Amino acid sequence: MTDGLIKHGFILIFLALVTGFVIPQAESPRLTLSAHTIGLLSGILLLAVAGIWGRMTPLASNGATGAELPEMLVGVLLISLSLAALTAAGLSIWGVSRKA
């Protein structure tokens, strides 16, 4: 599980960095900056969770499976962080204030 958290953390950080390149061209640069910041912070959070994963006793680690509830909570964490970053990036690309 630690490898997966590290992999997803770096993917999220990479996508956030790519989002940073399009800030000047976006319809709403402030929202794009928010998407960039959310992506970076979420990726760093995943890396931090991966760093302490082996010390967390209620959850399983090193390839073992734990109880259903903690495993589900980790899945929800991964999905919610990814959806938050993708939603912010999508809204900044689409533009919340459409020009008439």
* Residue-level pLDDT at 10: 93
Share the mean pLDDT of the chain. 79
Residue 99 lies in a domain: no
Residue 6 lies in a domain: yes
Instruction: Name the residue range of residue 39's domain.
Output: 2-94
Tens digit of pLDDT for each residue in 41-82? 989 988 988 888 766 655 555 566 667 777 787 788 878 888
87 vs 55 pLDDT, higher one: 87
Residue 40 lies in a domain: yes
Q: pTM of the entire structure?
A: 0.60
* Residue-level pLDDT at 3: 80
How many domains would you assign to the chain? 1
Residue 100 lies in a domain: no
1 vs 85 pLDDT, higher one: 85
- 36: nearest Cα among 16, 21, 18: 16
